[in-house]
Structure 1
Amino acid sequence: MFSENKKNKMVENTSSQNIIAQGTTIVGDFSSQGDFRIDGTIEGNVKTSGKVVVGKSGLIKGTLEGTDAYFEGAFSGKLSLSGTLTLKSSAQIDGDVEVGKLAVEPGATFNVTCVMKGTVKEINNSGQTRRQQTEKTA
């Protein structure tokens, strides 16, 4: 994890991915700027501005706040993402979900209350969206 720069000073190379290995159980709250790869179990709250990948053996019980998440494993609790939630066929999601975009493969279990946030188009009385009305008059 260390390398030499041009002036022969030792510089630490840091990885921005956190890995929770299979067979590992962690109880508590996590906060990170980097990505997470979870193949073990987390019971608690996870908050990151990075991407979260939950492998087939991975499980999160609690809350997850982040940008994007990719699930092959299981989740139970409250999930809040500003970006995309991707569910592979082996994924099992239970709880409350708030996402920007959702991609679900056939076979995934998705037992949730889901809210999709993002761009909302206003519709005026004539049935045109605001964008269409602006383009028509311009």
Structure 2
Amino acid sequence: MFSKPEEKKSVVDMVNSSNVISSETHITGDIKAKGNIRIEGTVEGMVNSTAKVEIGSASTIKGNINSVEAEISGKVEGEVICKELLFLKRTAVINGNITTQKLVVENGAVFNGKCQMTSNSLTVSKSDDKEGSGLDKKQFAAS
């Protein structure tokens, strides 16, 4: 009679939930999250999220990151793959390749690797064509 109806979280609430790994935490192994995840500690392994991954300024990740969106302030030793937006804050250090659709880099961020920009499912990469872009070179000649 006075019992509360069971509260069920909707799928949207669960996806928008955040997981936090504190600065005193060291994880060895892979992390898979269906929601946002913020890492302030150290992770030795892959970090996978179907949402956003945030890496704090004192954090170290030794492994690949795969997410929809990422904001990195700490150190990453591995590949970073973002389906949409990758934001490198001024304290970020990445030693590895980046694949993303949109990239924002603050002054001071360090990135050692290759960057591949994607457009939806189409991959755009610069060719190593010796002839250049294939455009008529006369178009660019000074008059």
With normalisation by structure 2, the TM-score equals 0.74
CA distance in 2, matches of 1:75, 1:94: 6
Which residue number corresponds to residue 23 of structure 1?
A: 24
Which residue in the other structure is 2:39 paired with?
Answer: 38
- Paired amino acid for 2:54: V
1:1-138 → structure 2 map (5 Å cutoff): 8-11=4-7, 16-118=17-119
Q: For 2:105 and 2:31, how far apart are their aligned partners in 1?
A: 26
- Output the amino acid matched with 1:18: N
**Deviation at 1:46?**
1.2
Partner of 1:132: none
Q: How big is the shift at 1:96?
A: 1.4
Tell me the amino acid that sits aligned with residue 77 of structure 1: G
SS at match of 1:82: strand
Matched letter for residue 36 of structure 1 = I
Percent identical among aligned pairs is 34
- Number of equivalences: 119
More displaced, 8-17 or 56-65?
Answer: 8-17
Q: Distance in 1 between matches of 2:82 and 2:135?
A: 34
Q: CA deviation at 1:56?
A: 0.8
Query: Scaled by the length of structure 1, what TM-score is found?
Result: 0.77
Aligned mates of 2:33, 2:63 — CA distance in 1: 16
Structure 1: 5+ residue runs without aligned partners?
Answer: 1-5, 128-138
Q: CA deviation at 1:60?
A: 1.1
Q: What SS does the aligned partner of 1:81 have?
A: strand
SS in 2 for 1:67: strand
What's the Cα RMSD here? 2.5
Structure 1 moving runs of 4+ over 3 Å: 12-15
Q: Which runs of 5+ in 2 are unaligned?
A: 125-133, 137-143
